[in-house]
Amino acid sequence: MKNLLTKLFPGLTSETIYFFLQGMFWALILMVAFFILITIIWLIVHKSHKVSGISLNTSHGSLFIAATAISDLIYSLDERFPDLEIIRVNLVRSGEEISIRVKVFYAAGGQSMLELTEAFQSKAMEMLKTSFGIDNISRIDLIVPKSKI
């Protein structure tokens, strides 16, 4: 090992190889610690904004509606919009606002995607209001990753 290091770094002597290796070891430890710290900071900053449900106040307590119940209601719209195939529904909080993100596949049919989006959003808001009494959803975002043509 000493011969290899002295060939790679001709300025090293047999007395300084130990200090060189000790410095390399501590540099490696500091790099690993730095990457762990950066990973922890990244995870804190990019934490999930998913919501487990919506709580509504009632006259004698509260009502908690789980995100799965809301997503099941949104999935039921799949039959009314044959040009859209719902893939995933997420309930997301951004600041004080709660929104719903719906990932859909678009099968190019008779209507344009803008018309379908407006009809889907208004029908979803109407169903949330009539079924659960939820009126604090600020927006419903449709995400189309790809279309089925």
Compute, in degrees rounded to 10, the torsion defined by CA atoms 109, 111, 112, 115.
Answer: -140
For range 47-75, the mean pLDDT: 88
Q: pLDDT digits over 81-138, tens only?
A: 888 889 999 998 877 888 999 999 887 777 788 888 999 999 999 999 999 988 888 8
pTM above 0.85, yes or no: no
Q: What is the DSSP letter of 72?
A: H
pLDDT above 90 (res 2):
no
Neighbours of 99 (CB within 10 A): 16
Q: Which homologous superfamily does the CATH classification assign to the domain defined by 53-148? A: K homology (KH) domain (3.30.300.20)
Could you state, in order of their start, the residue ranges of all structural domains in the chain?
A: 2-45, 53-148
**The predicted structure's pLDDT at residue 149:** 60
Percent of the chain's residues with pLDDT above 70: 96
**The predicted structure's pLDDT at residue 21:** 86
Q: What is the mean pLDDT of the chain?
A: 87
pLDDT above 80 (res 147):
no
pLDDT above 70 (res 5):
yes
